[in-house]
Amino acid sequence: MTPLALAFNLVDAGLLAQLLLGALAVVAAVTVPARLRNVLSGSLISVAGVAAAVTGTAALLGAVGTGLRIPVALPLAAPFEPLLLAPDRLGGLFMALAGAVVALAALFGIGYAHGPAASRTGWTAFAVFALGMQLVPAAADAITFLLAWELMAGGSTVLLLADHASRGQVRRATIWYAVMTHLSFLFLLAGFGVLAAATGGTSWATMAGGAVAAPVATLAFVLLLAGLATKAGLLPVHVWLPRAHPEAPSHMSAAMSAAMVKMGVYGVLLLTLRLLPDGPRWWAIVLIALGAGSALYGILQASVQADLKKLLAYSTTENVGLITTAIGVGLLLRSSSQFAVAGVALVAALLLAVSHAAFKSVLFLGAGSVLHATGERDLDLLGGLAARMPWTSVSFGVGALGAAALPVTSGFVAEWALLQSLIHVDARADRLLAIVIPITMGVVALTVGLGLLTFVKAYGIGFLARPRTPAAAGAHEAGPAMRAALVLGAVLVVGLGLVPGPLSQALAGAISAGGVSTTGGAGLLLEAADAVLNPVALTLLTLAILVPLVALNGVLARRHPRRDVELAWGCGGERTSPRMEYNATSYSEPLVRVFRSSLQARQLVDVVHHEDAPLLVEQMTFTQETGDVIEDRLYLPATRWAGRLGDLARTVQNGSIHRYVGFSFAALVLVLVLVALR
Amino acid sequence: MIDSVVVVVVQLVLAVAVTPVLIGVMRTTRARLEGRFGGGVWQPWRDVRKLMAKEPTRAPGSTPVLTVAPILLMASSLVLCALIPLASTLALESVPGDLFVVVSVLLLGTVALALLGLESGTAFGGMGSSRHMVIAALVEPTVLLSIYALSVPAGTSALAAIVQARRADPASLLNPVSLLAIFALVVVVIAETGRLPVDNPSTHLELTMIHEAMILESGGRDLGWLELGSWLRLTALLGLVANLALPLGIGQDAAPLTLVVGIAAVTVKVLVLGAALAAAEVFIAKLRLFRVPELLAGSFVLAFLSVSASYLVF
Amino acid sequence: MSIQTYQQLLATTTGLLLLTAVLQVWGRSIVRAIGLLVLQGIALAGLVLTVGLYAGEDSAWVVAGLLLVVKAVIMPWAMLRSARLIGVTREHSSRVNAAVELIGAAGLTLLAYAVSGPILGNHSDLAAQAVPVGFSLVLLGFWQLLVRGSAITQLVGFLMLDNGIATISFLTFGGLPLVVELGATLDVLLVVLILGVLMVRMQAEQGHIDISELRELRD
């Protein structure tokens, strides 16, 4: 391919640019002195992310690359087929998503990375991770996919270990993460292996084109879903998410939560829409069940967390659950031949994915800014940050608005599309649909309600009221790079919500669904649902009402100005300390009671009486622990069983060398006899 | 286009005018049934006027949320009145009153109030905010499922279309599915606007406050907006329930006569419904907070049944 | 080389290999065991030379010479030296009595002949017909490892095992690439040298070189 021809093929040029920039970023991370490392590495990775975003968008809108082939020659090994990078429209969408998130995270990292995260290893790992993640959706065959997947996993594991010297939980979190990531890799390998063997090739085109017998297809589906569900953080293999995401450096948490889990979603879409379309109905039911369970469980756990980053991590499980539910609904409708509404559901899933990427990155970056300024992640110890960190608090507020699916953010548009698809299902003739759809609706509704509570809590307790500790009182605003990333993210959250029409049309193109068009400027028209959503018009209406109201208020304010007083009212002059405020644990206490059986919270009240007056209380300590029920009920027994089996096996080892030699001997004789008898 | 703007303006003015009267009627009904005289039907209006003329206060350490939240609540309530078909079903072209949009705007007001409660930095505010949000979270499934039940027969979630469809087919009003959905919606209105048995609007006891706790710190103009905004929500939601349950009299266009008839019809319906609600409140006590989820779960089951019935039976 | 010479030489060398292997099982003298090992090494070298020359490869001289030097000279010399250092000349620690050992050895040789037929399939190659010898060397080497307790005889068994594997590979494939053969041989040499040192230490530490007393290799 001549350089000239390259220049005219945007997709190929973009892919090459990403590879080049990634390599440059690694070189910069290793060679540049510490002073410049943050800026240089961060900028290079950020630009690579932007390149990915541009390339991905071009691919989404229909630009087709000629298929970039990278010959890989490993010495002394069997010759590999060249790696094939050729993103289709769906891959382009996820590449754009990953690129945008990486760009924001790297920009934030310029100002945020400190200590081990800013070391050579830290930035190299981030560069490798970013490159892997951007190339996963661009892969056009299974080998390239798995290679990029491993790059992504490896880079993230290394960067996760950044703070291990100072905190023990980091090590434990990394072990969980490493084990589950590699389990997912093994499942993917097995699944792709089964498919490749059945269809005779490893490229997506071959796998999609080959006819696969039903049992083989089911096996491949189960294996691949197991691997993808682990990466995406669905129940019951989500346990690594709330451990790993909080412990990573914040720019990494943002990238992991907002983009990496989407690679699992991309895999599911690839599997169900391209590789094995027309699967049986129960596949869709499985997806809906997994998704609904994850959504509900995730948001329930999120609503009772006091650790801000853990809250956000569980919220990721919830959102991925919602996306999977939407995909499941779409597939179920396709199998019932309601193609128009199925298209709406799938577009809703993609909208949810895009909006989640936007608001989750802002939220995690905001949490990072808070952590950077106060050294605290615990909401119970924060408060009053809005006055001290205005930029962070406004951006976090916008992100929280998006997470709670309130107008006029992209989260709102996505939720609206999902609900529209659910109510337009024609379930009169189909019993299964008549049962599944209302249940799904109920679950989605409860999730939305709990999400509202969670994010009001996260924002209100952390940023409003008065500071509960000196650390919170001493907070300072973030640096320019961090601020820029936060503001850009917030703009994206609102901006994507104001143009739902063009956005949805592009997304509908990714899955070849029709019935989605733009109306009235940038509004969204769902033909199948006969529903219109025009956020711009809604905003204008609100402004039309708000402006006279504000003017009236201003007139009244001039006549009766606001008076500053010393004490808040609090029913008689509030002389208590900020520690008497409601904090995150108390905010969700009613929920803990209502959902007692699902949360299994352990509460301990410790009362210390006065020495001289045993009836008077000197001090009371309240401790609440909410573990992860799935981890306690499923994983702990499983690991205990594995341990017991290991102990059993240990009795065979008695130390005698003769016995060990005897084992080898017996094995050899057995093999010889068996082969001879065959 | 001009027609629909006229309708919106008329609805806004109507709502703001009727709201204090509605609250006055409700309080007077309750008072008379309890053997008291009450402050009169115009007392709420007098209260709002008084509050608007007083100075609000600001304690040290407050954020702009203190000023913004009351106005945001008021604005969200007004947007509700603009979107919900009160006097006429002629909707704005580009913003058809989609039920999900209406719910989201309602939730925006809820969130503004909750944040205001947290902003005050007092224990009361946090408590009210926490309880308010828990109830809002638990009532969501009922809300969305009742919308679902009401949208399925009309084939769309645009409120105007639903009301028109119900008006065109009076038999559908007595459909058990529809009745169940309306009943669930009534429970939703009670929960969202903080009426008995979910919340006592006239209490100031720490153990029983939910709405009142969140607005405890606000005074003067802020309190005026908050009160008016909360009352407007009640008016809008009662208007919605009234027009869904009995779409009699609602206009289809912006002709002056139909508008007058529509205004009169909705005023009468809202006042009657409000009085009935107040009368019922005399006979029930407030539920303790941890019994409220049972009530909400019950309403959820009703809404769920109505949806399933509409598919499996009818 | 003519076919008859080839056949004759093949029979001689493989017969010698088998004989030395069986005789290992019989005696209890360490010096005798090492001597038998030397003979085995010479036989192996002869086998390699025969097969190589018949196939027309001149590198056979190099390989055979290498094998001769390492297996018949260096390794036995190292082992003898260690034995003299320790002062052990007789094997005292055998886990089973001589009769059982001999019967076991016979059984294993039979087994080797029984399984090598089906395993190799139908190789009508002359060399391939002598492969059972290689298998029996392997199994007898293992048997030595299993029933003897002294560290030196363990080493003898290990070396016999290695000889057996080399025999099989030369008879079926005409040998291994020079690089691999070199690597394998060097590996084994290293093992012998290291174990020689270890044996001296064992003697110093515990006063004998019976490995059945060593039981710390476990969790």
What pLDDT, in 10s, does the model give residues A53-68?
Answer: 998 988 888 777 666 7
DSSP string, A476-545: ----HHHHHHHHHHHHHHHHHHH-HHHHHHHHHHHTT--SEEEETTTEEEETTTTEEE-HHHHHHHHHHH
Domain boundaries of chain B, sorted by first residue: 2-137+156-169+200-283
Assess whether pLDDT exceeds 50 at residue A76: no
Tell me what the mean pLDDT of segment A447-475 comes to: 92
Report the length, in residues, of chain A. 678
Which residue ranges in chain C fall short of pLDDT 70?
Answer: 93, 121-125, 174-178, 219
pLDDT at A1: 45
For residue A450, the chain B residues in CB contact (below 8 A) are 137
- Number of Cβ within 10 Å of residue A79's Cβ equals 9
Please give the structure tokens belonging to residue B282: 């005399």
Please provide residue B60's backbone torsions phi and psi, each rounded to the nearest 5 degrees.
-60, 145
pLDDT at C118: 76
What are A's interface residues with C at a Cβ cutoff of 8 A? 650, 653-658, 660-662, 664-665, 668-669, 672-673, 675-678
Q: Is B145 on the interface with A (CB under 8 A)?
A: yes
Task: Name the least confident of A60-74, A90-104, A265-279.
Answer: A60-74
pLDDT at C178: 67
Asked if A660's CB is within 8 angstroms of C211's CB, the reply is: no
Closest residue by Cα to residue B88 from B239, B252, B304: B252
Interface mutation target, options C145, C156, C210, chain A, most CBs of A under 10 Å? C145
Tell me what the mean pLDDT of segment B205-229 comes to: 89
Question: pTM (2 decimals)?
Answer: 0.83
Model confidence band, residue A431 (pLDDT cutoffs 50, 70, 90): confident
Tell me what the mean pLDDT of segment A17-37 comes to: 88
Closest residue by Cα to residue C108 from A658, A676, A669: A669
- Give the residue with greater pLDDT, B206 vs A589: A589
Per-residue DSSP letter, A57: H
- Give the residue with greater pLDDT, A568 vs A395: A395
Of A560, A564, A581, the CB nearest to B126: A581
Contacts of A176-182 with C-beta under 8 Å, sequence gap 24+, read: A176/A239, A176/A240, A176/A243, A176/A244, A177/A240, A177/A243, A177/A244, A179/A240, A180/A230, A180/A237, A180/A239, A180/A240, A181/A153, A181/A156, A181/A157, A181/A230, A181/A231, A181/A240, A182/A153
Tell me what the mean pLDDT of segment A605-621 comes to: 90
pLDDT at A251: 92
Assess whether pLDDT exceeds 80 at residue A103: yes
Question: Closest chain B residue to A593 measured between Cα atoms?
Answer: B290
Closest residue by Cα to residue A368 from A482, A492, A257, A259: A482
Chains touching B (at least 3 CB pairs under 8 A) are: A
Of A416, A521, A549, the CB nearest to B100: A416
pLDDT at C101: 84
Asked if A661's CB is within 8 angstroms of C142's CB, the reply is: yes
Question: Closest chain A residue to B314 measured between Cα atoms?
Answer: A428
Task: Judge B/A contact: 3 or more CB pairs < 8 A.
Answer: yes
Looking at every residue in chain B, the average pLDDT score rounds to 89
CA separation, residue B312 to residues A426, A640, B177, C158 (Å): 12, 47, 11, 78
Of A660, A664, A676, the CB nearest to C114: A676
pLDDT at B313: 62
Question: Closest chain C residue to A659 measured between Cα atoms?
Answer: C146
Assess whether pLDDT exceeds 90 at residue A226: yes
Packing angle, helices A261-269 and A308-335, rounded to 10? 0
Assess whether pLDDT exceeds 50 at residue A429: yes
Asked if C143's CB is within 8 angstroms of A654's CB, the reply is: no
- Number of Cβ within 10 Å of residue A541's Cβ equals 21
Model confidence band, residue B314 (pLDDT cutoffs 50, 70, 90): low
Asked if C118's CB is within 8 angstroms of A675's CB, the reply is: yes
Of A464, A566, A588, the CB nearest to B63: A464
A608 within some domain = yes
- Number of Cβ within 10 Å of residue C140's Cβ equals 25
Assess whether pLDDT exceeds 90 at residue A550: yes
Asked if B216's CB is within 8 angstroms of A571's CB, the reply is: yes
Assess whether pLDDT exceeds 80 at residue A574: no
Please provide residue A86's backbone torsions phi and psi, each rounded to the nearest 5 degrees.
-150, 90
The verdict on whether omega for the bond into residue A137 sits within 30 degrees of 0, i.e. cis, is no
pLDDT at A7: 47
For residue C218, the chain A residues in CB contact (below 8 A) are 650, 653-655
Assess whether pLDDT exceeds 50 at residue A583: yes
pLDDT at C122: 62
Residue A172 burial (C-beta neighbours within 10 Å; 0-12, 13-18, 19+): middle
Question: Closest chain A residue to B225 measured between Cα atoms?
Answer: A553
Asked if C145's CB is within 8 angstroms of A661's CB, the reply is: yes
Asked if B157's CB is within 8 angstroms of A435's CB, the reply is: no
Of B110, B119, B217, the CB nearest to A569: B217
Packing angle, helices A214-232 and A261-269, rounded to 10? 160
Closest residue by Cα to residue C129 from C141, C138, C121: C121
Tell me what the mean pLDDT of segment A652-678 comes to: 85
Asked if B118's CB is within 8 angstroms of A460's CB, the reply is: yes
Most confident of A248-252, A355-359, C130-134: A355-359
For residue A593, the chain B residues in CB contact (below 8 A) are 290
For residue A529, the chain B residues in CB contact (below 8 A) are 156
A641 within some domain = no
Assess whether pLDDT exceeds 70 at residue A5: no
Model confidence band, residue B24 (pLDDT cutoffs 50, 70, 90): very high
Task: Name the least confident of A197-206, A498-507, A547-556, C167-176.
Answer: C167-176
Tell me what the mean pLDDT of segment B198-219 comes to: 85
For residue B11, the chain A residues in CB contact (below 8 A) are none
Per-residue DSSP letter, B251: B
> Hey, which residues does C148 pair with through a beta bridge?
C94
pLDDT at A448: 92
| B residues 248..307 contacting A (CB < 8 A) | 289-290, 293, 300, 304, 307
Model confidence band, residue A71 (pLDDT cutoffs 50, 70, 90): low
Chains touching C (at least 3 CB pairs under 8 A) are: A
Cα-only R_g, chain A: 27
What pLDDT, in 10s, does the model give residues A648-662?
Answer: 888 887 778 888 888
A623 within some domain = yes
Per-residue DSSP letter, A258: I
User: Could you give the residue ranges of the DSSP H alpha helices within C56-148?
Assistant: 59-67, 75-86, 98-120, 131-147
**CA dihedral of residues A220, A221, A223, A227 (deg, nearest 10):** 130
CA distance A260 to chain B (A): 29
Find the domain containing A624 and state its range. Answer: 600-629
Assess whether pLDDT exceeds 60 at residue A3: no
Number of domain units in chain A: 1
Rounded CA-CA distance B277/B270 in Å is 10
Are the beta carbons of B118 and A551 closer than 8 angstroms? no
Are the beta carbons of A420 and A615 closer than 8 angstroms? no
Asked if B148's CB is within 8 angstroms of A441's CB, the reply is: yes
Model confidence band, residue A77 (pLDDT cutoffs 50, 70, 90): very low
Q: Is C218 on the interface with A (CB under 8 A)?
A: yes
Number of alpha carbons in the 13 Å side-chain half-sphere of residue A660: 13
Tell me what percent of the residues of chain A surpass a pLDDT of 90.
Answer: 50
Looking at every residue in chain A, the average pLDDT score rounds to 88
Question: Closest chain B residue to A444 measured between Cα atoms?
Answer: B141
Model confidence band, residue A297 (pLDDT cutoffs 50, 70, 90): very high
Q: Is B114 on the interface with A (CB under 8 A)?
A: yes
For residue B307, the chain A residues in CB contact (below 8 A) are 438, 441
CA separation, residue A458 to residues A303, A375, A470 (Å): 9, 17, 19
Assess whether pLDDT exceeds 60 at residue B107: yes
Report the length, in residues, of chain C. 219
Rounded CA-CA distance A356/B114 in Å is 24
